[in-house]
Amino acid sequence: MTDSLVAGLPTGPAPLPERAPTDWRTQAMQARIRKRYAAERRFRLLGLMAVVMSAGFLAFLLITMLINGLGGFSQTELKLRIDFPRAGLTIDPARLSGPGADFALAAAGIERATDAAANAQFGAEGYKLLSDGAWLRVRAAVKADPSLLRHAAIVPVPASDAIDLAAKSEGSPAAEAIVTRMKAQGLISTRFNPNFLTSADSTDPTMVGIWGALKGSLFTMVVTLLIAFPVGVLSALYLEEYAPKNRWTDLIEVSINNLAAVPSIIFGLLGLAVFLGTFGLPRSAALVGGLTLALMTMPVIVIAGRNAIKSVPPSIRDAALAVGASPIQVVFHHVLPLALPGILTGTIIGMARALGETAPLLMIGMRAFMVAPPDRITDPATVLPVQIFLWSDQVNRGFVEKTSAAIIVLLVFLLAMNGLAIYLRNRFETRWS
Amino acid sequence: MSAPTLLFLIAGLGLIGWLAARARAATFRRTSGARFSSLPSHHGTYVALWTLLPAMLFIAIWAFTSPALVTDRVLTVPAAQQLPPKGFERAAILSEARNLANGRGFGAFHPLSETLAPAYDEAQSRYDWIGSAVALLLAFASGAWAYLRIKAGFRARTRIERVAMLMLLAASLIAILTTIGIVVSLVFESARFFRIVPITDFLFGTHWSPQVISARDPGASLGAVPLFWGTFFIGAVIAMIVAIPFGLMSAIYLTQYAKPAVRKWMKPILEMLAGVPTVVYGYFAALTVAPAVRDFAVWIGVSWASSESALAAGLVMGVMIIPFVSSMADDSIAAVPAAMRDGSLAMGATSSETIRKVLLPAALPGVVGGVLLAISRAIGETMIVVMAASGVATLTLNPFASTTTVTKQIVDLLTGEAEFDSAKTLAAFALGLTLFVVTLILNIVALGVVKRYREAYD
């Protein structure tokens, strides 16, 4: 090792002094190895802990929402006995069907009769045990079956907020005592609350529902998709397939990448200043919300679209050009269909982000209190995340479970969208090799 | 004529043009027997485009100009003489009259608007008819002109393709327009703000209380330093103390140690953390984390702990950022050449020694770039701080004290009942401009760092 084997070649540097080989069996070396292995195990454990704890945060969040929110889907009902013939209702049975029925019944004194029946059945302050909207249920029952008016009947009506919470064992001791007594008499029951999915916002937590917000979200998403998808796909095609390399296209590229990283609240300020201030579009409308979110989602679609288009191999383009297709035909007949699954995946992910977005919509006033679902995209509307935000601000304790229940609905939608994106990616992913 | 009817009619004209032109082109083909560069359907599309596009363009322009024309006409009726001169009341009466004429609104607040409503109705329907007639005429004329141009050998395809190209270009220009829109609106509104409040007061003042702005010296209560500090403290200090160790260690474990099956499951689970809407995090922070933090503070002996502490907002924000840091770290560790890792392992170093002494130092610029991007995202994050941080601006180092942030103040300033011109509302745009500039700089620096680093190993 020390001398060159071939004569004449220069020898290496001066030989190192002989060193005894490391004796791995000595106490010192063994201790050192143990120490290094222990450090290795510690490090590995730290990494595992980081992963487990991060996943733990997520699990904790989801479980908290589930525990808080499942109660929101159910409703406590009281069996209210109403003696209709004696309630002094002034109802003309002929008017119980047709468009004027609600109005006629409201004027007939059903609310008073309901409260009186509650007082008769549950004591002097009995009407306080009922939800403010209990009479609406009585009205619906009478409308559905006018024969009720001829005899005394038992109508299940929603219980008040305090009773509802007590029945789910979260209420005050006094309310829980009442609930225990009623349970013994078989007057109280808790069942699934379809009202939560079908009605709109209200000031009374026992009457609220998410349908208004869900419809607003739907309208907003439709506007967002109709604008962001075509614009995003077309600009991705332009940048990837045709754009010459010059200062203009550089500018376009930089602004798209930059827009993808701009805080969402800035888009809200843009929507407020431009769509509401300059163009005078209607405030709080799904149209403006959708436009604002479209500007936010478009860069995501462009970036995903460019990656999908880039992965279509050049041989496809060359083959199409070789048989005489024009550049436009190459792209629209060959490249775009092949890139579409990738673009769709990116679009769904972008839409999922837009669906969960709140801050920009607060800026353009989509936080109005709306008791009716919107019918047009120019109507004042609210969306699901904003509804969650508005309910979270309510002091009334009954809103806690409603907020968490709305969060469960939102998360289910998001999971479904992300699941669809993953499915699309796995189903249509093409490997060009 | 209502808008849907008009659009329907124009679309119908377009369809007729398409069918007619296609039929005509087909006869050329049959009679001459030659093959042309364009198919009959290309001719059809050419005529349809000429029918639709000019009319649509006119409708778009008309939609923006006709309201002004309508108002001008309403102002000529005798009743309009009683309108107050320029100002808020005049605009209010006019818009009320417009709502009455359109059947919206809940009755007249001002008697004059009721007298003006019929004039509005009349003017609106008049201009509606003018607009509809011109649009239809335009659609027919341009469509007919295009139809007459069609003859054998006419290159319709190249012309359609030119239009398609223009549409592609227009679509990609929208990104620039959006950027310009953001910059112009922020700068314009901020300029109005800085005419009221000196920029130095805003940038260096240490007292922030927008609820009581004195008319004589509005700058005295609009010093944004406490907001900048609160944003930095929550987003760049507390959130990063959570996000960097967890994100980095997760990335290291998942790339270096975890079995493929574990990685396949854990990576999407961590990514779900980034997919949870921020309003959900905010609710979680306000409902669960903030009380827990306060209880903890009381337990360790801080008697005045706030339930809207910087710590609660920062902790939850940190959790939200974990997957972001983790994926950036993942990318930059993966970019380190395998030879460096293999060399270290061959020398007898353990995996953890390789990671700490070889991989991490080599990946450091990428990791730093990722952290900068994460900070940029954290300081722009809104809902968590809106729901979990307090509205009181304080300069404090204590994580249990309450602090506020720029984004929270923007939301507070703009969701109150204030008119569009007050210093209070305009302050939100100045804050927005600051936020935009800071995040822009952070993003540029971060991307620059990441890019330079990536080139080093290629």
Token pair listed for B122: 């009349």
pLDDT in tens, B105-151: 555 567 777 777 778 788 888 888 888 899 999 999 998 888 888 87
pLDDT of A398 above 90: no
pLDDT of A362 above 70: yes
- Whether B168 and A234 lie within 8 Å, measured CB to CB: yes
pLDDT in tens, A127-181: 777 777 777 777 777 777 777 777 777 888 888 877 887 777 777 777 777 778 7
Q: Is A25 inside any structural domain? A: no
Give the span between the Cα atoms of A188 and A130, in whole angstroms. Answer: 11
Token pair listed for B399: 């994580």
Best residue in A43, A250, A336 to probe B by mutation, most B CBs within 10 Å? A43
Q: Higher-confidence residue: B397 or A40?
A: A40
A307: domain CATH number is: 1.10.3720.10
ipTM: 0.85
Which residue among B172, B182, B435 sits closest to A252, beta carbon to beta carbon? B172
**Same structural domain, A151 and A248:** no
pLDDT in tens, B400-426: 888 899 999 999 888 866 566 677 888
Give the span between the Cα atoms of B303 and B243, in whole angstroms. Answer: 28
- Whether A266 and B436 lie within 8 Å, measured CB to CB: yes
Contacts of B249 in chain A (CB under 8 A): 46-47, 49-51
pLDDT of A411 above 80: yes
- For A327-330, the CB contacts below 8 A with 24+ separation are A327/A241, A327/A242, A327/B161, A328/B161, A328/B164, A328/B165
Which residue among A237, A259, A362 sits closest to B411, beta carbon to beta carbon? A362
- What does DSSP assign to residue A277? I
Give the span between the Cα atoms of A295 and A256, in whole angstroms. Answer: 10
* Chain B: closest CA distance from residue A124 (Å): 36
* Beta-sheet strand order (sheet of A188-192): A152-158, A74-83, A188-192
- Whether A51 and B319 lie within 8 Å, measured CB to CB: no
Give the span between the Cα atoms of A271 and A277, in whole angstroms. Answer: 8
Angle at B438 between CA B435 and CA B444, to 5 degrees: 135
Q: Is A201 inside any structural domain? A: no
The answer to whether residues A315 and A409 touch, using CB atoms and an 8 Å cutoff, is no
* pLDDT of res. B323: 93
- Whether B171 and A234 lie within 8 Å, measured CB to CB: yes
The answer to whether residues B230 and B403 touch, using CB atoms and an 8 Å cutoff, is yes
**Same structural domain, A359 and A243:** yes
**Same structural domain, A258 and A365:** yes
The answer to whether residues A300 and A380 touch, using CB atoms and an 8 Å cutoff, is no
Best residue in A24, A57, A369, A425 to probe B by mutation, most B CBs within 10 Å? A57
Residue A143: closest CA among A81, A204, A100: A100
CA-atom Rg of chain A in angstroms: 34
Classify each residue of A221-236 as buried b or exposed e, where b means 16 or more C-beta atoms within 10 Å of its C-beta.
bebbbebbbebbbbbb
**Same structural domain, A150 and A233:** no
* pLDDT of res. B70: 81
Best residue in A33, A54, A393, A403 to probe B by mutation, most B CBs within 10 Å? A54
Token pair listed for A134: 């209990």
**Same structural domain, A232 and A381:** yes
- Whether A51 and B280 lie within 8 Å, measured CB to CB: no
Helix or strand or coil: residue A349?
helix
Q: Higher-confidence residue: B321 or A422?
A: B321
**Same structural domain, A320 and A280:** yes
Q: Is A263 inside any structural domain? A: yes
Inter-chain contacts counted by CB atoms under 8 A, chains A and B:
250
Contacts of A385 in chain B (CB under 8 A): 277, 279, 383
Which residue among B256, B376, B429 sits closest to A261, beta carbon to beta carbon? B376
| pTM greater than 0.90 | no
Domain-ending residue, one of A162, A193, A224: A193
* pLDDT of res. B239: 95
Which residue among B174, B253, B386 sits closest to A298, beta carbon to beta carbon? B174
The answer to whether residues B218 and B197 touch, using CB atoms and an 8 Å cutoff, is yes
Distance set, CA A347 to CA A143, A255, A415 (Å) = 46, 19, 15
Token pair listed for A11: 């020898």
Token pair listed for A207: 């009457």
**Same structural domain, A299 and A397:** yes
Give the span between the Cα atoms of A388 and A406, in whole angstroms. Answer: 6
* pLDDT of res. A2: 47
Touching check for A38 and chain B: CB below 8 Å?
Answer: no
Residue B299, burial from CB neighbour count under 10 angstroms (0-12, 13-18, 19+): exposed
Q: How confident is the model at residue B322 (pLDDT cuts 50, 70, 90)?
A: very high
Residue B428: closest CA among B443, B442, B415, B440: B415
pLDDT of A95 above 70: no
Tokens 């990441």 belong to B450
Residue B286: phi, psi to the nearest 5?
-75, -35
Q: How confident is the model at residue B153 (pLDDT cuts 50, 70, 90)?
A: confident
pLDDT in tens, B234-269: 999 999 999 999 999 999 999 999 999 998 888 888
* Chain A: closest CA distance from residue B449 (Å): 16
Q: Is A56 inside any structural domain? A: no
**Same structural domain, A394 and A304:** yes
Mean pLDDT to the nearest integer, A368-381: 79
Best residue in B61, B377, B382 to probe A by mutation, most A CBs within 10 Å? B382
pLDDT of B52 above 60: yes
**Same structural domain, A252 and A381:** yes
pLDDT of A125 above 90: no
Give the span between the Cα atoms of A20 and A31, in whole angstroms. Answer: 19
Contacts of B429 in chain A (CB under 8 A): 269, 273
Domains, chain B, ordered by start: 3-154 (no CATH), 218-456 (1.10.3720.10)
* Chain A: closest CA distance from residue B329 (Å): 13
Give the span between the Cα atoms of B204 and B344, in whole angstroms. Answer: 51
Side-chain half-sphere exposure of B222, counting CA atoms within 13 A = 31
Q: Is A28 inside any structural domain? A: no
**Same structural domain, A152 and A236:** no
Q: Higher-confidence residue: A283 or B13?
A: B13
pLDDT of A352 above 80: yes
Mean pLDDT to the nearest integer, B149-173: 85
Domain-ending residue, one of A131, A161, A193: A193
Which residue among B64, B278, B283 sits closest to A403, beta carbon to beta carbon? B283
The answer to whether residues B354 and B344 touch, using CB atoms and an 8 Å cutoff, is yes
Tokens 């608007």 belong to B113
Domain-ending residue, one of A161, A193, A225: A193
Q: Is A177 inside any structural domain? A: yes
Measure the CA dihedral B103/B105/B106/B107, to 10°: -70
* pLDDT of res. A1: 45
Tokens 């004039």 belong to B119
Token pair listed for A103: 């109005």
Q: Domain range spanning residue A340?
A: 211-428
- Whether B350 and A385 lie within 8 Å, measured CB to CB: no
Residue A347: closest CA among A301, A390, A309: A301
- Whether A411 and B174 lie within 8 Å, measured CB to CB: no
Crossing angle of helices B360-380 and B406-415, rounded to 10°: 20
Residue A261: phi, psi to the nearest 5?
-110, 0
pLDDT, averaged across chain A = 84
**Same structural domain, A80 and A165:** yes
Number of domains in chain A: 2
* Chain B: closest CA distance from residue A419 (Å): 11
- Count helices and strands in chain B by DSSP H and E runs: 18, 0
Q: Is A280 inside any structural domain? A: yes
Side-chain half-sphere exposure of B433, counting CA atoms within 13 A = 24
DSSP codes joined into one string, A77-135: EEEEEEEGGGTT----GGGGSSTTHHHHHHHTTHHHHHHHHHHHHH-TTGGGGB-TTHH
Q: Is A406 inside any structural domain? A: yes
Token pair listed for A132: 């403010």
Best residue in A251, A269, A284 to probe B by mutation, most B CBs within 10 Å? A269
Contacts of B155 (CB under 8 A, 6+ apart): B36, B37, B38
- Whether B171 and A414 lie within 8 Å, measured CB to CB: no
pLDDT, averaged across chain B = 85
**Same structural domain, A122 and A186:** yes
Contacts of A237 in chain B (CB under 8 A): 168
pLDDT of B172 above 60: yes
